[in-house]
Amino acid sequence: MTQTSKPPRIVIVGAGTAGLNLATRLSHKFGRHGKAEITLVDENLSHMWKPSLHEFAAGTKGFDEEISLLEHSHRNDYSFRLGRFTGIDREKKLVHLQAVNDPANRPLAPKRALPYDILVLAIGSRSNDFGTPGVAENCMMLDTPAQAKRLQAELLNLFLRFQTGALCTRDDKLELTIIGAGATGVELAAELREAAGQFARNGIHKVRRPDAVTIRVLEAAPRVLGALPENISMKVERHLRELHIDVHCGAKVARIEPGSVHLADGTEFTSNLTVWAAGVRAPEVIGQLEGFETGSLGRLKVRPTLQTLADDQIYALGDCADCPWPAKETSLPPRAQVATQQAEFMERQIAAQLAGKPLKPFSYADHGSLVAISNEGAVGSLMGKAIGTITIEGWLARRAYRSLHFLHRKSVLGTWRATLSSLIGGASKRIRPKLKLH
Ligand SMILES: Cc1cc2nc3c(=O)[nH]c(=O)nc-3n(C[C@H](O)[C@H](O)[C@H](O)COP(=O)(O)OP(=O)(O)OC[C@H]3O[C@@H](n4cnc5c(N)ncnc54)[C@H](O)[C@@H]3O)c2cc1C
């Protein structure tokens, strides 16, 4: 990097699991002491922990855990810019941002370009519809807080319409279909069963009948949670069946129509609400970046140092990066654990770059996987040098699952604020309704 008297400008695009964590770390390390100018860009004004989106969508968790990026940047030593990332001018070292409008189409932030010395892309992933006809028109998705809010409103309206008779359904039943039995699909199915129970207890009497709400999961692969070990997959499937969730594996969806889902083998399912959760891919803008190479799932190829192949000053991390995983001779999976470890690593990497020291390769430590099964707890494995691999389930697994969210909040809010908000959250859970009913 060229030596200038001005502090280097570090721009991070994407305030998700990786981006917000990194911005917080860099602001403490450099921003606070004026050693670098840190700017965080996002197309949304707030941050939510993405692995909890299914709980917000089902209404079993309130939206009060959102972190305002304006307030967070003010508390920490970085600048927040609202904008949608659309491209990079590598010669002029500019990040292009598209204008962001409010729902009435009035501009909130104009189209503009931000200068950078170091650029970090952390824009996450989007659902992958694999070109399946009818998905965009007839399915809900769970990629963003806005989609989670829409799904929660849609679900509430569906149950209300069913109760009031405004909606007549086949066999007088509600049928909810989730396509994809990865972590998102499985966790959402369990959460929807919990929500249906809460609706029944809170005035939606028509769903008190045990068979009034069908929840089905359709998965093209031979088993649920294909990316996880088989013993976890079997345990999770057993839990789902105990919750009266219909699991159909080997069910390849050919098209979605309004009110129905059609499989390649000709089977048709009626569906009053269909959610597409069958895998992810990088946002389209990644494929449109000139001169950059993309790899699996359309992600930006990076070297083990997390630098893009095209440009030493541009890094990518989290779900949008295709990072080698030498231990498994593949790429790292799009998971919160990877995004978090990469954010922690990037703080040290950028420090090394600014100090003119050699960069190191990122090394991923797989600590296992946990899948939440609503109030039933969670199932998963923990991995570590001292313990090897152990399978855990129930209360202990649920605690471990919750601790991941707490650790994230601790890294972005600090120990004191994260602990306090967790205590307040725990207390308010006891007094507020178990389901969002408005
Ligand atoms: C329902 C659900 C459950 C999950 N459960 C688990 C789990 O149990 N365990 C696990 O490891 N992983 C889980 N995941 C995956 C996990 O959430 C992701 O791997 C992780 O959030 C990736 O972090 P990230 O920072 O790369 O992206 P994200 O956290 O998705 O953040 C991306 C950010 O970029 C912003 N952005 C996107 N495009 C643009 C643009 N063009 N311009 C500006 N800003 C942009 C977004 O607004 C967002 O703030 C789950 C995901 C979902 C949806």
- Over the stretch 133-148, which tens digit does the pLDDT of each residue have? 999 999 999 999 999 9
As given in the structure block, the two tokens for residue 419 are: 């602990």
User: Does position 277 have pLDDT exceeding 80, yes or no?
Assistant: yes
Burial 162-174 (b: 16+ CB within 10 A, else e): beeeeeeeeeebb
How confident is the model at residue 117, as a pLDDT? 98
Look at phi and psi of residue 349 and say left if phi exceeds 0, alpha if psi is from -120 to 50, else beta: alpha
Is the minimum distance from the CB of 368 to ligand 1 under 6 angstroms?
A: no
Any bridge partners for residue 230, and if so which? none
CATH 3.50.50.60 range(s) for the chain read 9-125+282-354, 135-279
Locate tokens 């990066």: which residue? 321
Q: What is the pLDDT of residue 297?
A: 94
Token code pair at residue 207: 């769903």
Nearest-CA residue for atom 52 of ligand 1: 51
Q: Answer whether CATH 3.50.50.60 is correct for domain 9-125+282-354.
A: yes
Q: Return the bridge partners of 98, or none.
A: 84
Nearest atom (ligand 1) to Cα of 53 = 1
Residue nearest to atom 44 of ligand 1 (CA): 42
CB of 141 shorter than 6 A to ligand 1? no
How many angstroms does the Cα of residue 50 sit away from the middle of ligand 1?
A: 5
Q: Is the CB of 318 under 6 A from ligand 1?
A: yes
pLDDT per residue over 190-232, tens digit each?
999 999 999 999 889 999 988 999 999 999 999 999 988 898 8
Torsions phi, psi for 382 (to 5 deg)? -115, 140
Lowest-confidence region among 31-45, 193-207, 293-307, 377-391: 377-391
CATH number for 135-279: choose from 3.50.50.60, 3.60.15.10, 3.40.630.30, 3.40.640.10: 3.50.50.60
Residues 173-186: what's their mean pLDDT? 96
Using the mean position of ligand 1's atoms as its centre, give its distance from the Cα of residue 426 in Å: 25
- Please work out whether the CB of residue 212 comes within 6 Å of at least one atom of ligand 1: no
403 contacts 369 by C-beta, under 8 angstroms: no
Rg (C-alpha) for the chain, rounded Å, is: 22
From 11, 123, 344, mutation site for ligand 1 pocket: most ligand atoms within 8 A of C-beta: 123
Sorting pLDDT into bands at 50, 70 and 90, what band is 121?
Answer: very high
In this prediction, residue 386 carries a pLDDT of 67
Partners of 274 in beta bridges: 177
Q: Which of 314, 352, 366 is nearest to 120 (CA)?
A: 314
Q: Ligand 1 centroid to 161 CA: how many Å?
A: 32
